[in-house]
A and B are shown apart, each in its own frame.
Chain A
Amino acid sequence: MDNVFVEALVRALAVGTPLLLASLGAILNERGGVVNLGVEGMMAVGALAAFAVAVAPGGNLWVAVLAAMAAGALLASLHAFATVTLRANQFVSGLALALLGTGAAGLLGKRYEGAPLFNKVPDWNLAGFVISPFTVFALLLAAALAFYLNSTRSGLTLRSVGENPAAADVLGVNVGRVRYAAVLAGGALAGIAGAFLTLSYRASWADNTTAGLGWIAVALVIFVGWRPLRAILGALFFGVLYYLQFRLQGNSPIPTEVFSAMPFVLVLVVLALAGLRGQQGDAPAGLGRAYVRGER
């Protein structure tokens, strides 16, 4: 009984890790007023970049993670340029980047399909509790991000840019620069989420390795009301769901398609519940709108 519970928790934490990392990144840029629907794409390029570095002769895992961050941030920089500098629609830009990222990763990653990864990131065994260093990092990062947003001057600046960019501008904050930084950081975190998938969780590269996790991360941000610590619970919740899908598949009379559709159905339910509870009110007031000085 105990063992089953521990196994469920370990598994849920594992699937929850990319969700948590990516949603923390999205929380960061959404708190700064920029919606990023491109998480799926940034995760995909991060996953590929990490894998490509790690399988290369003498591939260093630290460098692999850095490459993932750089790849995620590079794609995010397109989002920042389009939405902050050129004031394009943030939602559609994110969608375009999700397409571009998953497409480019599938294209450029073709040569790595089926390649084995010998130097996978080793899991840690904390008193019988097997856990990936990525998971530990994600949990610590959630706490750090909560502290950053609520208790530091820089975090306050970021939130002011997300809530009321005009007021922040008047106080001498460079709205564009803060937003660029937040979007790049969010992209880098999505990249790490991808690195976890290819360097640890799957330890291989395949097209569509992100399998919709990026989209769930985006929805998670709304579900947890843009709060980093609550994101831990949200990620764990979807992690448990994936664990159940894994356990029940084939062992029950329920058709497998029900399980493969379940995370997406649940995202809809969760978003509807968030909407009914009026949780959209927790959204940063300036979210989703380009800031143009002098415009309301």
Chain B
Amino acid sequence: MRFTALSAPSAARAAWVTLAAVVVALLLCALIFFFYGVSPGTVYGTMLRGTLGDSTGLAEVARRTIPLLLIGSGLALAFRAQFFNIGAEGQLLLGAVFAAGTGLFVPLPGPLLLPAMFIMGAVGGGLWAGIAAWLRRLNVNEILSTLMLNYIAVAVVTYLIAGPWKGKDVRGYIYTDLIPERGFLSVVPGTQVHWPTLVLGVAGALALQWVLSRSTFGYALRVVGENPGAARYAGLSAGRVATTVALITGGMAGLAGAGEVAGIHHRLLEAGQISLGYGFTAVIVAWLARGNPALCLITAPVMAIILAGGDLLKIDLNMPFRVVDVFSGVILLCLISSEVFVRNRVTWGNGQAKDNTGSKANG
């Protein structure tokens, strides 16, 4: 197999290859389901029928779209700057901690409480990502640091809900008391779709797209991400760009955490209940969108179908929820492996004679 670089890969080619990668990923997952002992047809049928088939399913998809959109559009920015933030899970949790803490312990009057919860949520998520940004200046790989911070965030939440923040009225359970009702977000009646957060997510995705493609900072970000050498030559500080991007993505994840608290749970509870795997799934949302925050408006619902579908597999087919990790892993692997087909034309066979042209064109 030989690759010949294309000078300007078209958007259509990118879309084609991405679609093909997703199809390959779904086939690979089908293979794993086959080994598990369920027919892949049953799996995909259950997922599609249960999510897109009725209004309850659609509401479940919409509910999961909200955090995925917020986090995914932030991550899209981060990946463009080559800052691989894998810690959105932890940043979301810290956002939930800060938002719930504000709701529980800060006596703010009616209309001020919700905005304060969201702002504090963003601060919490941003701080958590800020640690990773600071560590990166010490040359600590951010994938490792953000992952470690995920584990630590889970411990922080568990400590708070089992210890100092444990509710007075909840006896046997480990979660906090409810926040006051003026800190509840309104939802679409009969569902858990807290639409104000959805509006925030849509606005956020569009705003970040503007930042990326129209602002000076976005330009610096793209240069740092695509050509670090040129960025250094132009006097752009890669460290500062990475820090800013980390704070933005962490803040977006923190907003998602605040939304889950104010919109759905109204208290702080176990980490596994606050986030249904949003942090990792959002990585794929961002990757599918090829680093375009606005495209997350499409990719976030797509991945929400897989998340909600995974829940159905657990309930209807009694499969472990781990199945979502399988989807995430396989799709991510196929996506990044497909990148080379976007940028290069492929010729089969070893074709020694033409080898020079192919590889030179790459440089």
Verify A86–B340 contact, CB threshold 8 A: yes
Q: Identify the stretch in A7-15, A226-234, A269-277 within 8 Å (CB) of chain B at 4 or more residues.
A: A269-277
B148 proximal to A (CB < 8 A)? yes
B84 surroundings in chain A (CB, below 8 A): 91-92, 95
Within 8 A of A (CB), among B296-311: none
A81 surroundings in chain B (CB, below 8 A): 337
Verify B135–A275 contact, CB threshold 8 A: yes
Q: Identify the stretch in B105-113, B136-144, B191-199, B249-257 within 8 Å (CB) of chain A at 4 or more residues.
A: B136-144
Size category of the binding interface on chain A: 35 or more
Binary interface encoding of chain B residues 287-330 relative to chain A, with 1 for a CB under 8 A from any of its CBs, else 0: 10000000000000000000000000000000110111111111
Verify B32–A107 contact, CB threshold 8 A: yes
B323 surroundings in chain A (CB, below 8 A): 103, 107
A280 surroundings in chain B (CB, below 8 A): 139
A247 surroundings in chain B (CB, below 8 A): none
Verify B138–A100 contact, CB threshold 8 A: no
B187 proximal to A (CB < 8 A)? no
Within 8 A of B (CB), among A9-46: 37, 41
Verify A99–B147 contact, CB threshold 8 A: no
Contact A107:B322 (CB < 8 A) given known A86-B340, A265-B152: yes
Chain B interface residue count, Cβ-Cβ cutoff 8 angstroms? 51
B48 proximal to A (CB < 8 A)? no
Within 8 A of B (CB), among A37-96: 37, 41, 78, 81-82, 85-89, 91-93, 95-96
Verify B329–A100 contact, CB threshold 8 A: yes
Whole-angstrom distance between the Cβ of B127 and the nearest chain A Cβ? 15
Whole-angstrom distance between the Cβ of A79 and the nearest chain B Cβ? 9
Within 8 A of B (CB), among A200-216: 207, 212, 215
Verify A96–B332 contact, CB threshold 8 A: yes
Contact of A103 among B322, B359, B362 (CB under 8 A): B322
Q: Nearest residue in B to A259 (C-beta to C-beta)?
A: B155
B178 proximal to A (CB < 8 A)? no
B348 proximal to A (CB < 8 A)? no
Verify B332–A99 contact, CB threshold 8 A: yes
B148 surroundings in chain A (CB, below 8 A): 215, 219, 264-265, 267-268
B363 proximal to A (CB < 8 A)? yes
Verify B145–A271 contact, CB threshold 8 A: yes
A93 surroundings in chain B (CB, below 8 A): 333, 336-337
Verify A294–B325 contact, CB threshold 8 A: no
Contact of A106 among B86, B325, B333 (CB under 8 A): B325
Contact A95:B35 (CB < 8 A) given known A82-B336, A88-B340, A275-B135: no
Binary interface encoding of chain B residues 323-363 relative to chain A, with 1 for a CB under 8 A from any of its CBs, else 0: 11111111011001101100000000000000110011011
A136 proximal to B (CB < 8 A)? no
Q: A170 to B346: give the CA distance in the assembly, Å.
A: 24
B86 surroundings in chain A (CB, below 8 A): 95
Contact of B138 among A264, A272, A292 (CB under 8 A): A272
Verify A102–B152 contact, CB threshold 8 A: no
B158 proximal to A (CB < 8 A)? yes
Q: A97 to B139: give the CA distance in the assembly, Å.
A: 24
A2 proximal to B (CB < 8 A)? no
Verify B325–A212 contact, CB threshold 8 A: no
Q: A92 to B287: give the CA distance in the assembly, Å.
A: 10
Binary interface encoding of chain B residues 41-73 relative to chain A, with 1 for a CB under 8 A from any of its CBs, else 0: 000000000000000000000000000000000
Verify B152–A103 contact, CB threshold 8 A: no
Q: Which of B163, B283, B333 has the most CB of A within 10 A?
A: B333
Q: A86 to B341: give the CA distance in the assembly, Å.
A: 9
B151 proximal to A (CB < 8 A)? yes
B12 surroundings in chain A (CB, below 8 A): none
Q: Which of B1, B36, B152 has the most CB of A within 10 A?
A: B152
Verify A271–B135 contact, CB threshold 8 A: yes
Verify A107–B362 contact, CB threshold 8 A: no
Partner-B contacts on A (CB < 8 A): 37, 41, 78, 81-82, 85-89, 91-93, 95-108, 110, 207, 212, 215, 218-219, 222, 255, 257-258, 260-261, 264-265, 267-268, 271-272, 274-276, 278, 280, 292-296
10 cross-chain pairs, A with B, having the tightest CB-CB distances, nearest first:
A100-B329, A103-B325, A106-B322, A99-B329, A261-B155, A275-B138, A294-B359, A96-B332, A275-B139, A103-B326
Partner-A contacts on B (CB < 8 A): 1, 32, 35-36, 84, 86, 135, 138-141, 143-145, 147-149, 151-152, 155-156, 158-159, 162-163, 280, 283, 287, 319-320, 322-330, 332-333, 336-337, 339-340, 355-356, 359-360, 362-363
Residue contacts A-B, CB under 8 angstroms, 17 given: A37-B143, A88-B336, A89-B336, A92-B84, A95-B84, A99-B326, A100-B326, A100-B330, A110-B320, A215-B147, A255-B159, A257-B159, A264-B155, A265-B148, A265-B152, A271-B135, A271-B145
